[in-house]
Amino acid sequence: MSGDSDIARAPSPFDVERVRADFPILSTTVHGKPLVYLDNAASTQKPRQVLDSMRRFYESDYANVHRGLYQLSVRATEAFEAARCKVGRFVGAESCGEIVFTSGTTTAINLVAHGYGGDHLGPGDEIVLTEMEHHSNIVPWQMLAGRTGAELRIVPIADDGSLRMDEYERLLGPRTRMVCVAHTSNALGTRNPMRRIIDAAHACGAIVVVDGAQGVPHEKIDVRELDCDFFAFSGHKMFGPTGIGALYGKAELLEKTGPFLGGGEMIHSVTFDETTYKDPPHRFEAGTPDITGAVGLGAAVDYLEQIGMDRVEAYERDLLDYGTRLLEEIPRLTLVGTAAEKCGILSFVIDGVHPHDLGTVLDMEGVAVRAGHHCAQPVMDHFGLAATARASLALYNTREDLDVLAASIPKAIELLG
C-alpha cells in the first residue's frame, strides 16, 4: 500500500455541515422557520446519494429481478443482490444469504414469529419479551402465543428505563424458547446490554430475536459479535427509502424457518399436489420485491460506511449529552428514560402541558418532534403516562437544533401552561 492511499483512508473529522448539505430537506422551512428535524426515531431524511442512486437505477438499470434472461433484468438482479451483500457486510453477516429483504422491521419480526416460531413452539413454551418493546416486537409474539399455546414472560424495566437484568435472568428457564428484545428502545433511548442478554438466553437453549430498528442507524452493529440468532431493521430509519428493510438470520436458523408469504419467486416447483420451496433467503421473498428500495438501502449503507459508524456514534453521544443538559434546566420538564446507556432519544413530559399541544406549538417554531405513546404503550403504562414528547437525534442534527428546541419549549409552556 502506498503512503498516499493510507492518507486517503485516514478518517477526517466529522463535519456536520458537510453531512447536512447532503440532505436537501434540511434546508427547507416550515411555517416560515428553518426546519429542525428531531423525529429521527420515526424515520430519517434521505441524502442525495440515496435519492440519486434510485433515480439512476430507474433510469438505466430497472427491470424485474430473477426472471428475465435479457440484459436489463440481469443488471437489475445484480444490483439487487449486490445491495443484499452490502447490507450483510454492514451488519457483519457471514454471508449475503443470511440477509432477507423485507418491507421493514415489523415484517421481519412477523416473518420469524410465523416461520420459525410457528413450527418450533408449543403449549407451555415460553417467549421472553421486555416491557420496553415496540408494539411490533410484542403483537406478533402475542399472536403466536395465541396460535401455539406458548406463554409470554415480560422483563420489567427500572424507573430510569434500564432493563431489570436481575428479573431477566430470573425469568429464563428450561421452557424459554425465544427471547425477543430491542437493541435500543425507541421510547426511552435505552441501549440494552445485548451480549449479556444473548449469552444468558443461549445458556438455557433459547434463540434470540433482536429488534435492531433503533440500533443500526446509530452505532456499528456486528451480528456475529453479538451472536444473535435473528436481527431485524428498517431502511427508512437509516437514511434509506421506505418500504425496504432486512432480517438477518444465522444460516442454520433460516434453514429451519418455514415460508411466511407464499407466491412467485419463493418456490422451486408448484403443482396442485405439492409445492417445494427455494432455499433462504429467496424462500422468504415472495412476489416482486422492492427492487429500487434495496438499491437505495445499499446506497444508504455506502453513505454510512463512508462517514464511519464509530464517528456517528461519538458525534451523537456528544449531542445527547448536550441536549440532556439543556432540557434538564427547563422548569417543569421531566425526562423519561435516563439510563446510563442511552442513544440520542430525549423523551419528556412537562407538568401541566399535554405532549400533543406541545408538539403543535413546537411545529410553529419549525421544530418537528413526536408526541404520543411511540408504539410502546407498556412503557407509558410503566410511567403512568398516556404520552410523552420525544426529540430523537440523527447524524445531521446540531447543537443549534437543540438550542432551538430548548428555547421553544419555555415559549410553548407560556402559551399552553
Min CB(383)–ligand PMP separation in Å: 17
Q: Which residue has the cell 421506505?
A: 242
Cα 355 from Cα 380, distance rounded (Å): 13
Q: Which residue has the cell 415460508?
A: 259
Marked catalytic residue, from 85, 96, 204, 375: 375
Identify the three-state secondary structure at position 362.
Answer: helix
The reply to whether 343 belongs to the active site is no
Facing residues of 308 across strands? Answer: none
Burial of 159 (0-12, 13-18, 19+ CB in 10 A): exposed
Nearer to ligand PMP among residue 41 and residue 333 (C-beta): 41
Strands 29-30 and 33-34: antiparallel
Nearer to ligand PMP among residue 210 and residue 335 (C-beta): 210
Min CB(76)–ligand PMP separation in Å: 24
Nearer to ligand PMP among residue 104 and residue 161 (C-beta): 104
Min CB(235)–ligand PMP separation in Å: 8
* Strands of 135-262, DSSP E: 151-155, 176-182, 207-211, 230-234, 245-249
Nearer to ligand PMP among residue 251 and residue 375 (C-beta): 375
Nearer to ligand PMP among residue 41 and residue 226 (C-beta): 41
CB-CB neighbours of 95 under 10 Å: 11
Nearer to ligand PMP among residue 241 and residue 280 (C-beta): 241
Min CB(248)–ligand PMP separation in Å: 15
Cα–Cα distances (Å) from 376 to 75, 136, 168, 208, 360, in that order, read: 42, 9, 19, 20, 21
Contacts with ligand PMP, residue ranges (CB under 6 A):
41-42, 104-106, 134, 136-137, 182, 186, 211, 213-214, 234, 245, 375
Cα 51 from Cα 401, distance rounded (Å): 24
Omega cis (within 30) before 13: no
Write out the three cell numbers for 239: 437514511
* DSSP string over 266-332: SEEEE-SS-EEEPPTTGGG--SS--HHHHHHHHHHHHHHHHH-HHHHHHHHHHHHHHHHHHHHTSTT
Min CB(33)–ligand PMP separation in Å: 26
Min CB(213)–ligand PMP separation in Å: 4
Cα 20 from Cα 45, distance rounded (Å): 10
| Type and span of the H or E element at 404 | helix 399-416
Nearer to ligand PMP among residue 134 and residue 382 (C-beta): 134
Burial of 104 (0-12, 13-18, 19+ CB in 10 A): buried
Min CB(136)–ligand PMP separation in Å: 4
Residues marked active site are found at 375
